[in-house]
Structures are given as C-alpha cells and as structure tokens.
Amino acid sequence: MKILVVDDYPTMRRIVKNLLDQIGYKDVEEAGNGVEALEKIKVHRYDLVISDWNMEPMTGLELLKEVRADAGLSKTPFIMVTAESKTENVVAAKQAGASQYIVKPFTAETLKAKIASVVG
C-alpha cells in the first residue's frame, strides 16, 4: 500500500513514518505542504493520504477539498490529523469528505485502527 504523509513539520512527518513502519507500512512518501501534496497526488496514485490540518499555503482541509473535487482522485482514502479536537473541526473534516480524523498525539495502535477502518 502506497501512503502519502503530508505535514509542514519534518519532525512530525518522521514520527508518522516511523509509526507506519512499526505497523508494517513501508511504501511511504512525504510532502511538506498541501500544494506539494496535490502535485504528487496528481502524478502518483496513493492508496491513502494522511494529512495535517494546519499548514501554509494550503491547509489539510483545502487539500482534502481539492482531492474530493477531482473525479480521478475523489475516492482516495484520506485521514486528517490535527492537534485540535474541536467538534466543529471534526464536523468540517467529515463534511469535506475525510475518511477518518486523528487528534495528536496518537499511537501506532490508534493509527493502525484508523487505517484499518478506512482501507479494510
């Protein structure tokens, strides 16, 4: 399974990659922001996108909306990651088409469960 991890903090990308590695996912690529991620998603097919919410110049929510608006990409499983657990953020992510939502910090087990619920 090919996974794209999107976060503007290199340390957070490394943490998520390490967690994915622990639960058996080795084919993982990174993007430093939503714009870079969208370019990669349009060129390569990913089985899952795991994206941070708060990024510049394009937020994770904006990235999600772009992915869902593209007929060729709209079915791509998308997990939104954020430090904010506000109900309105969860609702906004779900309305925009997020497959799942994870609040930082999280464990490998949480990530594994969320991935399983999204891709089976």
- For 34-84, what is each residue's pLDDT tens digit? 999 999 999 999 999 999 999 999 999 999 999 999 999 999 999 999 988
Report the percentage of the chain scoring pLDDT > 90. Answer: 92
Q: 3-state class of 52 per DSSP?
A: strand
Beta bridge partners of 101: 80
Q: How far apart are CA 75 and CA 71, in angstroms?
A: 8
Q: Containing domain of residue 19, as a range?
A: 3-119
Residues 6+ apart with CB under 8 A from 4: 28, 29, 30, 31, 37, 40, 41, 44, 46, 48, 49, 50, 51
Confidence of residue 24 (pLDDT cuts 50, 70, 90): very high
CATH number reported for the structural domain that contains residue 21 in this entry: 3.40.50.2300
Contact between 37 and 72 under an 8 Å Cβ cutoff? The reply is no
Domain count, the chain: 1
* The dihedral sign for the CA sequence 103, 18, 26, 24: negative
Element (H, E) at 10: helix 10-22
- Best CA proximity match to 9, nearest among 27, 30, 38, 29: 30
Q: Is pLDDT of 120 > 80?
A: no
Confidence of residue 113 (pLDDT cuts 50, 70, 90): very high
Maximum CA pair distance of the chain?
A: 34
